[in-house]
Structure 1
Amino acid sequence: MIVKEVLPNGLTLVTESMPHVRSVAIGVWLKRGSRHETPSQTGISHFIEHMVFKGTRNRPAEVIAAQVDSIGGHMDAFTAKEYASFHLKVLDEHLPLAVDILGDIVANPLFDPAEMAKEKKVIFEEINMVEDTPDDLVMELLTEAFWPNHPLGRPILGTKKSVSRFKRDELGAFFHEVYRPRNILISAAGHLDHKGALELIRRHFGELAPGGSGGNGGPPRPASKIVTRSKKELEQVHLCLAVPGFPQTHPDRYGMYILNTVLGGSMSSRLFQNVREKRGLVYSISSGVTAYSDAGVLTVYAGTSLDSVDEVVRLTIEEFRRMKGDRLPAEELRRAKDHLKGSLMLSLENTGSRMSHLARQEIYFGRRFSLDEIRGGIEAVTDDDVCRIAGKVFAGGMGVSILGNLGRYRPRATQLRM
């Protein structure tokens, strides 16, 4: 049973009772992420995510860690473009402590200057890790070029320059502006009852002063741009291609998921079979859909040799043309639908994934979609829908990023015509 409740101060609670399990996953979701930062604040949401675990007015950092470990719990957090999350998974009997800890770190962080100095070094290493991970780096290059001069195009981690400038007062001001009840959603799933969970949330979050919300700055304008970066130490060439996609709530979202599954979202997909299995040109090739509240992007990633880059690009664009020019065979459409439905069901078998699923639906749709509704949306997609969507998505504009030991190699714009 799923229940939603809005507290008097504007905070939203959504719970799902799963009586057959013993665990509870609970998360505090902030409906603000890196896209809500100004250029000078780039990375501040992620930095605050780190700092809330570094001590509160009631608990030093080591006590937070010790209390979670003492009950066998798992605590984690992340920052995304449009939201951030702090979550705990515990046995049902430890839910009161979990809510106490989450309430403390969200309401009472210290932002100690000494801890800030140390955590900046940690984040510098996180930025270095992206630089040393070519499939992450090539995607960062693509995003920045595809959505230029827009917060969706900036890195969630920020830059070493922006992070190094953060001061305690700036963190405190951003925190008190953003961490307000109307911006906070608490999602919980597992062996719980809504009434008991509500009492815990009221006790630890009910006194937060009302406030929150705000705009997101409007959608980005995609740019058809080719960006290259040479790194001599890389053995492979890593490339990404991007075309505009759909926002989260778009009525054609299910058709878009099926298009992506057929194109490169599974091992039986066209790109995987035609580029890797039949020709052996890559070790890894895949496509993916990323959707935000007012924008979306479909990307293709591949890792290959310098000699094969042009051929991989040619074959990928050839598949784009096939998607919009040819009807999807009934067998392929059926396989994609079953893949999506099976993946959905398997992904929701544990309390953590159910908690996250509830939160994301509430953030983007303001309501819950039942599994039957989602399965019905997938089943309603026709081959004509996929062809029509492909015609919109592969209409011309494309962003490209290429990373590797490139020498004098540069792609030609004529290679990218669809």
Structure 2
Amino acid sequence: MTIPTLHTLPNGVRVVCDPMPGLETLALTVVAGRGAAYEDPARSGWSHLLEHMVFKGAGGRSARDIVEVVEAQGGQINAATGYERTSFQIRALKGGLPLGVEVVADLVRRPTLDAGDLAREKQVVAQEIAEAADAPDDYVFDLLQKGAWGDHPVGRPILGTVDSVEAATPEALSDWRASLYAADRLIVSATGAVEEAELLDLAQKAFGDLPATPGAPVPEPAPFVGGSFAETRKLEQAHLVLMLPAAGSRDDDYFALRVFAEALGGGMSSRLFQEAREKRGLAYNIDAYADTYADIGALGIYAGCAAKDAAQTAQVCAEQLLALVERIDEAELARCKAQLKAHMFMAREQPLARAEQAAGQALTFGRLFSPAELAAGVESVSAADIARLGRRMLDPAKAATAVLGAKSALGAGEIFRRALFGGQ
């Protein structure tokens, strides 16, 4: 059995190698442990814009050259920007690691950032912002983000605004790139048909000379402020998102939060699915989820329902949450643990998800976790932990709610809040 390894280059860049014997493919991700949470209002959306721009040309290759050289070897290339990280990802056939590292290193270190490309890409991002605003099941989460985290960068959309994106210049983006992709929070993570010696050699050549200067400082954790946002829109459904403050990834209650979310709305046997959909027919889509960052986190509930049913749906969500805080029996607890472990381990069987997970562990904890450790964390959660976490989430009497739909649905957030906290 192979064991994943974590190495640190002299300049601080970390390298994760996680071979998966028997695979004919590999996954490579280079993760910069900074994202939209590091932006001030004037640079809102710049991390995402920069992620777009590096694909317009890098290392002497044009935008077309970048994708063609990867796809010519059977590979796929992608990227993603989040609040705490930016990832550049390649899937490739066995033997594709040297080209993958070379291409991604060019994206991270040697983008062209041409002024003409930037002007065109600003238009593309403006359309992406408009598309998100037109998609109610996307836009409602932007409303919720603001309601939960207020004026902190985590409360702003990752895409930024048209005005903030328009203000970016090639020179300013170049400075932001050096700050965002600095060596101190850069992870090179490869999984699948990879060999440790080759990966370390390639990483050293590609990133070993990156200056060991610190990048943008880690922002203060966002306080959960809570608040209600509701907008009238002519839609066939009302979209509800309801949220309570909870635990971050480094919190002792992290696994309890994951189990709590699973019990409340994680699957077809969950309380919300059974009560709101199966028993009452209130919603087709209803689920609960753990939204976690390194030091902050929340429990969220999403429901799409008819406007006339929004109030009742919010009431049911509150009632089921309160009932879970009061009691979970051993059979339900065991079922939720089994489902959560299955989700975690199934993801580990996908090379890219596995490489991203390892990079996240290295960034957040400075170490890697074995499957046995993750399973033990899940298994350690008790009924008493569920109750204690529930009281912790309810104690501040703060909730963030977002409702999008017909006017008759807009009071659902207040109904949820009153059902949980009474007249507070």
TM-score (norm 1): 0.97
Q: How does 1:191-210 map to 2 (within 5 A)?
A: 191-210=193-212
Separation of aligned partners in 2, 1:412 and 1:247: 24
User: Hey, what does 2:23 align to over in structure 1?
Assistant: 21
Separation of aligned partners in 2, 1:199 and 1:411: 57
Q: How does 1:145-164 map to 2 (within 5 A)?
A: 145-164=147-166
Query: Does structure 2 retain, via aligned residues, the 8 Å contact 1:42–1:158?
Result: yes
Deviation at 1:149, TM superposition (A): 1.0
| 1:387 aligns to 2:391 (yes or no) | no
What SS does structure 2 have at the residue aligned with 1:93? coil
Deviation at 1:408, TM superposition (A): 8.8
User: Hey, what does 2:78 align to over in structure 1?
Assistant: 76
Separation of aligned partners in 2, 1:43 and 1:412: 28
Query: Does structure 2 retain, via aligned residues, the 8 Å contact 1:49–1:79?
Result: yes
User: Hey, what does 1:276 align to over in structure 2?
Assistant: 277
- What amino acid is aligned across from residue 259 of structure 2 in structure 1? I
Deviation at 1:373, TM superposition (A): 0.7
Deviation at 1:415, TM superposition (A): 5.1
- What amino acid is aligned across from residue 41 of structure 2 in structure 1? P
Query: Does structure 1 retain, via aligned residues, the 8 Å contact 2:265–2:273?
Result: yes
Q: 1:58 aligns with which of 60, 73, 96?
A: 60
User: Hey, what does 2:9 align to over in structure 1?
Assistant: 7
What SS does structure 2 have at the residue aligned with 1:52? helix
Separation of aligned partners in 1, 2:212 and 2:33: 15
Deviation at 1:177, TM superposition (A): 2.4
Separation of aligned partners in 2, 1:279 and 1:408: 18
The count of residues paired between Structure 1 and Structure 2 equals 416
Deviation at 1:412, TM superposition (A): 7.4
User: Hey, what does 1:114 align to over in structure 2?
Assistant: 116
Deviation at 1:414, TM superposition (A): 6.0
Greater Cα offset, 218-227 or 377-386: 218-227
Q: How does 1:401-412 map to 2 (within 5 A)?
A: 401-406=402-407, 409-411=410-412
Deviation at 1:20, TM superposition (A): 1.4
User: Hey, what does 1:314 align to over in structure 2?
Assistant: 315
Rate the CA distance shift 1:408–1:353 in 2: closer, same or farther, 3 A.
closer
User: Hey, what does 2:135 align to over in structure 1?
Assistant: 133
Query: Does structure 1 retain, via aligned residues, the 8 Å contact 2:105–2:206?
Result: yes
Q: Percent identity?
A: 33
Separation of aligned partners in 2, 1:66 and 1:221: 45
What SS does structure 1 have at the residue aligned with 2:57? coil
User: Hey, what does 2:353 align to over in structure 1?
Assistant: 353
Q: How does 1:104-253 map to 2 (within 5 A)?
A: 104-232=106-234, 234-253=235-254
Query: Does structure 1 retain, via aligned residues, the 8 Å contact 2:46–2:160?
Result: yes
Deviation at 1:65, TM superposition (A): 1.1
5+ residue gaps, structure 1: none
User: Hey, what does 1:304 align to over in structure 2?
Assistant: 305
Separation of aligned partners in 2, 1:99 and 1:225: 44
What SS does structure 1 have at the residue aligned with 2:381? coil
| 1:343 aligns to 2:371 (yes or no) | no
Q: How does 1:90-105 map to 2 (within 5 A)?
A: 90-105=92-107
Query: Does structure 1 retain, via aligned residues, the 8 Å contact 2:307–2:408?
Result: no
Per-residue CA distance 1:93-134 (angstroms, 9 max, x = gap):
121111111111111101001111111111112112211221
What SS does structure 1 have at the residue aligned with 2:213? coil
Q: CA RMSD in A?
A: 1.4
Separation of aligned partners in 2, 1:38 and 1:315: 38
- What amino acid is aligned across from residue 126 of structure 1 in structure 2? E
- What amino acid is aligned across from residue 266 of structure 1 in structure 2? G
- What amino acid is aligned across from residue 329 of structure 1 in structure 2? D
Per-residue CA distance 1:80-100 (angstroms, 9 max, x = gap):
000000011111212111111
5+ residue gaps, structure 2: none
> Which consecutive aligned stretches of 4+ in structure 1 deviate over 4 angstroms post-superposition?
none
